[in-house]
Amino acid sequence: EVQLLESGGGLVQPGGSLRLSCAASGLMFSNYPMNWVRQAPGKGLEWVSVISDSGRNTYYADSVKGRFTISRDNSKNTLYLQMNSLRAEDTAVYYCVKGGRSNWAECDFWGQGTLVSVSS
Partner 1 sequence: DIQMTQSPSSLSASIGDRVTITCRASQSITNNLNWYQQKPGKAPNLLIYSASTLLSGVPSRFSGSGSGTDFTLTISSLQPEDFATYYCQRSSLVPYTFGQGTKVEIK
Q: Which one of 21, 27, 47, 117 is in contact with partner 1 (CB under 8 A)?
A: 47
Residue 89 as a binder of partner 1 (CB under 8 A): the answer is: no
Q: How far is Cα 43 from Cα 106, in angstroms, rounded to an integer? A: 21
Residue 95 as a binder of partner 1 (CB under 8 A): the answer is: yes
Residue 103 as a binder of partner 1 (CB under 8 A): the answer is: yes
Of the CA atoms within 13 Å of residue 102, those in its CB half-sphere come to 0
Residue 105 as a binder of partner 1 (CB under 8 A): the answer is: yes
Q: Which one of 44, 66, 75, 120 is in contact with partner 1 (CB under 8 A)?
A: 44
H or E element, residue 114:
strand 114-118
Q: How far is Cα 96 from Cα 116, in angstroms, rounded to an integer? A: 13
Strand partners of residue 3:
25
Binding site for partner 1 (CB under 8 A): 35, 44-47, 50, 59-62, 95, 100, 103-108, 110-113
